[in-house]
């Protein structure tokens, strides 16, 4: 399950960068750091929006394709599922399945 977690982290970051580049949301600062911070903020918002759509679609019984589409836009159609545990080694083993 490590691949879904990786995809669901990287895809929003790339999407944030693309959104900033395509829309000109970046400020006209000469600082690459400012541009990067804006891209990461947009990526965080992107992740939050689609994760919330995923959760709401589950709770409100929206059509399954809505949840699937939101997940796909995060890089993997289903959120990773882990068994509840306090054992870090067990969490690592679960993520490798």
Note down the domain range covering 82. Answer: 2-95
Cα separations (Å) of 88 from 3, 7, 21, 33, 72? Answer: 18, 21, 38, 34, 28
Tell me the whole-structure pTM to 2 decimals.
0.59
Q: CA–CA separation, 46 vs 41, rounded Å?
A: 9
For every one of its 97 residues, what pLDDT tens digit does the chain have, with 9 covering 90 and above?
A: 567 777 778 888 888 778 777 776 655 555 776 777 788 888 888 888 888 898 898 889 889 899 899 888 888 887 766 666 677 777 677 777 6
How far, rounded to the nearest angstrom, does the alpha carbon of residue 22 sit from its chain's CA centroid? 19
Which DSSP helix (H) or strand (E) runs through 70?
helix 64-72
Q: CA–CA separation, 50 vs 11, rounded Å?
A: 12
What's the pLDDT at 11? 83
35-52: b (≥16 Cβ within 10 Å) or e: beebbeebbeebbeebbe
State how many domains the chain has. 1
What's the pLDDT at 37? 75
């Amino acid at each position: 399950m490590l691949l879904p977690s990786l995809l669901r982290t990287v895809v929003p970051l790339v999407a944030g960068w693309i959104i900033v580049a395509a829309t000109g949301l970046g400020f006209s600062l000469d600082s690459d750091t400012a541009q990067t911070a804006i891209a990461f903020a947009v990526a965080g918002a992107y992740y939050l929006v689609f994760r919330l759509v995923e959760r709401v679609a589950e709770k409100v019984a929206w059509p399954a394709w809505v949840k699937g589409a939101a997940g796909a836009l995060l890089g993997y159609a289903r959120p990773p599922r882990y068994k509840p545990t306090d054992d870090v080694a067990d969490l690592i083993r679960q993520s490798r399945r």
